[in-house]
Structure 1
């Protein structure tokens, strides 16, 4: 795509030089129309969005001023002296009187200022321009590319060569045109090397950028396989000859292309938009090859990519079926909400995804832990590998062990002939999601600890050690601290699975996300109903103990009524009778008390602390009423003295059955 630019200058004779310089940096990326300042065509109705002109000219010429008021973007045209010609001034002794010749007085004075900044302040410079009277006592004249203006009285003269467009102007113009990728090309660095710039800050940054580019270029050339470096816009900034050979494109030609010319767009989008690595085989190429595209990011900002190419016959085959049908369905883009709490959580999750450390997701039931697990996997380097999920509380101990670690033939009655691979084997090179990890028995916890430490498994009934490469993502809706105190959850395992802890906020703490979630669920379910303002307010003020899962159920309930407009009376019972429930301590608070007691017996004070850590602060009065109700149900019993309250077998069974 060519970006149109207008160049408006006072000195028409310099236009060819400016066009040549712009072409040297921008190549075909810009289409420049050049005008003299006094040319009426420059101010017609048909004009470009970006104008390159000098700030002084804009002040002196009213036409330029009026043009600037038409919403155009103006980039100041600043000029710099050529570095190679300045050395000619070194031969003159201190105090030498020199006339600096240019088109106007201002331009001559500008060159004098630049000469002084370049270290020639020990010489005496005088501006000279057409119409200026002869300078007495001056025999030497210098000019920046205007030799025709040298006065006849000058006995000696020196042409410093045309001034170059300053690097700061080039940088600003590239930014305005969304062509910043050109600032990492060799032609930009070559152009920068030609000039002495007064933009010190830009000069330092460009030199540092060039040093980094040279180092990266050296690595690309030394790399054994084919490698292509891409900038943020997809332009090739460097490549080695091996890559050119595999692609069947001469290296010189490859350096002029963008990635779209030789890579599928879907691969580039995955790398640039989703910032995920991508792999694709090209078996029908003249030389079949495998391409791996790795994004390069700084923070969350996409900076470019490195494409590694290797012959297909030499590529390492996948150790097992890449996914075996086990794939992650969701990405971070699927997480709805813009509250500060959610944005902070998502940003932290993105950073965690880029590591291989174990992640522990905590939060109440229904907060989206599995959704986050899917998104983390898809944002990791393991995105091309399998994603295997298992609910640890849904399976009995013996079945969970064989499911996780697999079994050999004859390991137990009913074992399949030939045995069966476990979920850890199926997740090799990918991620495994262990939901409700607190539901594991101590024996399974011990085996899991060894798997995480040693990165190897042994099937049930077998003696063969199988190495695995799996990233573990765990989740729990309980506070594991009390479980560790009572020995129900291993402390050493906690520190293994919780290397990177991530707590998901409950819906009641990010109420600004409630209505956007309602709209998202309506779209997913194909619903078009509209809520009255009173109904919307009821949704916003309800505590949502079931969090996002309960909210989705609510939307489905509302959709079943098949009404175009829904009011408060159409809401589900808990929302319809919110005031009534709040006076009776709702059932969800009772359920949380039961979950807190699952960690072990305790008094009311410690129980209140547990509930507070779970996000449910309660008063002693509320706690007494809840414990009294639970005793009547037969779910809780109180010990003598300071024994506190504990769950009965009936209470434990109720918890396992979902507290129905």
Structure 2
């Protein structure tokens, strides 16, 4: 029976390429499907796979990963490298030439160039370019190097060298074979040829070749695959082994070093001391040709006698870069807060009042409830609260409560014991409450939590104790809760979908995040910030400036960022009303002075102050049209009709309008798929509105 594999990547073409490599190597033993985060095909991944192979750039956080991959699924990381033919091609380029490396993102550029440098392509002066970066002066570059991303190469390139897609490392393929139980394939000729064709860093040879391959082959291949320089000496201190990386690092040809005294060829390596003392020498930093190298030496002991020694040599900068990459990966896993109050842009009175309150509240241990419309920056404030609190040096863990099914969210929050459910990881798994111990747990969209989980959360807040799923052991946790919602929790409490006792626990320190329409000139400050971030250069005409300042901004800062991004691609130095996005529907902010001086357009209808009158009248007219056809109307159909008519209504707005009409006795709202119908009073009022609109 074929084993099913899912390959998940950020870019569609890259994922399809990796999937084809797996098919070619494993043949008819496997069935491979490719999914991409960028084209959202990963959202359609419903089957369970024997193995999930995930590229390093696919997801930013663990939370993002577990939206699509089962928490107990067999997962592994796809590491990529280049073929030796590519390395030799680039090494043949003249030293000192300037090259521009082009890839999809800055991170992918940096990783690829770092890997090329590690593999010996370091004779070129390389700059990085990716979509969205400032376009460089192409006359400065002799070559443009790109892994099949020629479509992003700026105009004016002298010579484009397409090095093809990066390939999966041999260690990635080996790990996949071991996880699937295909150990016999590791001795096949196909695996051997693949191993020899790719330039990669793997230390798996003992496991790979212990099944019948000769020790000499193991050693030779191990030396050539290492990212570090390797030198071996016998008991007399004579060099008997030297890999290509050592030759590249020192510039000393291997043939000139073999059979020669190591203290003459490599005087910076303390082989003599190691052989004499028969113990490993501490790692040290030495300067070789003006470059700092990290050198370690260890003896080879057999039956109590020293029969030689090995030394590894690595550029100090390479080791440092690797550590920085690991730290960056840790930061991206959601266990550290990335923002502070200094990252908040604006100085409007509404924003300053909010920040003043939050800075004071951050010093307490009490729960904070952030209330605000979508896109107002609730998560940014949650990060800032943690960094301003006494818990700033401890973990910050964030999770979206509405993004996961109930059972998955429970195991993610509270963890589980071994055997708690089918497919549970051996040894169990700690939950996010344990990860956030002594720190802060941010519960975004807390209204999406089921009533059963609300009960468990209430106990954690009261007792500061949790119990893993399937466990019987009480675990004490010290976690500060910051919750966020864009719903009316009081209304949810009245409806019975949110526990009243939990609401009052979370509502200890409630803070309303002001929407963008109430922040005045902050909008222009944010436009300047987003324009600078995108590297664009444009100005706003007075007409556009006034339109933006008086727009309702239903999507708040998220909507504003999208508009500024659109402006950056328009290409006009001055943005006029004609340059507004085609999806931008101008909705003026309600003028309080005008509202008080003019009566509602339809007597007998009580309007909600927070929503435009035209939206509420539109809903009533849609219900009237459905009533005339002998049917009711559901929220989804009302939302669709509003969008088709150019009204930027949200589900929350439709729901609140229907609730208001129901309370006025104009409609009757039924649960489930029954929809909403007009009462006799509502029918008369809608009929008047229909005649007025005609």
TM range (shorter): 0.3 to 0.5
User: Which has the higher Rg, Structure 1 or Structure 2?
Assistant: 1
TM-score, normalised via structure 1 length: 0.43
TM-score (normalised: structure 2): 0.41
